[in-house]
Amino acid sequence: MKIRSRVQLRKSTKNKLLNNLVSTFGDEIKKLSDSKFECVKTDEYSIIMVDDRPLLFFTDDDIFPTVSGALEIDLNSKNVFVDSGAVKFVSNGADIMSPGIVKSDPNIKEGDLVIIKEENHGKPLAIGRALVDGSNMVGNSGKAVKSIHYVGDELWNISI
């Protein structure tokens, strides 16, 4: 992944971004408010570096935590939990199938970005886009979440 630009965000832009994230995730995000935010544009992603760690990224017009960000911030909303049998596949970038989902946030709407976590320890494995509402993810058949970013991909391994 090639870096095209790196710019520190203005305080007003940073605060607007944080307010947007607080409305989605709640007060857990506020612990980032004293950190330095930089926008790094690569040939694939626009990433928000928080104190030199890639914790947020843009996908389409949405900003969302990276897997590293979800690990560090420990968010309690927009979560989809998969069983231990699905972990290997999710960690390799596979889309998330409904039969592998054991629990999901009922507030998830189709099209929302979600954090895929493993059920036993609650560790984030991937970030994806919901293909169905959260209340319809468990116990059905077919794909429920399209994987966007996962442990071990280029964004996970980025070094800036």
Please give the radius of gyration of the chain, using alpha carbons only, rounded to the nearest integer. 15
pLDDT averaged over the chain? Answer: 92
Q: What is the pTM of this model?
A: 0.91
CA distance linking residue 114 with residue 134, whole number of Å: 10
> What pLDDT was estimated at residue 84?
93
Mean pLDDT of 110-129: 95
Residue in 153, 157, 145, 155 with CA at minimum distance from that of residue 116: 145
Domains in the chain, CATH or no CATH each: 3-73 (3.10.450.120), 79-150 (2.30.130.10)
**Contacts of 39 by beta carbon, 8 Å cutoff, 6+ apart:** 5, 6, 7, 9, 46, 47, 48, 49
The answer on pLDDT for 160 being more than 70 is: no
CB 58 within 8 A of CB 21: no
State pLDDT tens for residues 7-52.
999 999 999 999 989 988 888 888 898 999 999 998 888 999 999 9
The answer on pLDDT for 2 being more than 70 is: yes
**Using CB atoms within 10 A of its CB, is residue 80 exposed (0-12), middle (13-18) or buried (19+)?**
buried
